[in-house]
Amino acid sequence: MTRLIEAGTEVDCARCGERVKFQARVKSLQVICNVYVRGRWDRVEHYHEQCYHEAGDPHGVAA
C-alpha cells in the first residue's frame, strides 16, 4: 500500500538503503509491503515510492 510518510517514521528503504524519512515541506510517499514467504507472513518492507517503481513493483502494483 502507498502511504504518506508520517512524522517519526524510522525505516530504511529496501531498495536504496536510505532512510525513509518525513520531510515537513515535501509530501513524500512510501510503499509498505507485507512480504509472504511460502504463504506465510515474513516481514514488512518499506520503499520510497520512486524506488518501488524503479524496482519494477516487486510485490505487485501498490494500491
The least CB distance from residue 34 to Zn ion, in Å, is 18
Q: How many other β-carbons are positioned within 10 Å of the β-carbon of residue 2?
A: 13
Please state, in angstroms and rounded to a whole number, the distance separating the CA atoms of residues 51 and 23: 17
Determine, following the binding rule CB under 5 A, whether residue 13 of this chain makes contact with Zn ion: yes
Q: Taking every pair of C-alpha atoms in the chain, what is the biggest distance, in angstroms?
A: 40
Q: Which is nearer to Zn ion, 17 or 39 (CB)?
A: 17
Interface of this chain with Zn ion, residues 15 to 54, rule: CB under 5 A = 15-16, 48, 51
Binding residues for Zn ion (CB under 5 A):
13, 15-16, 48, 51
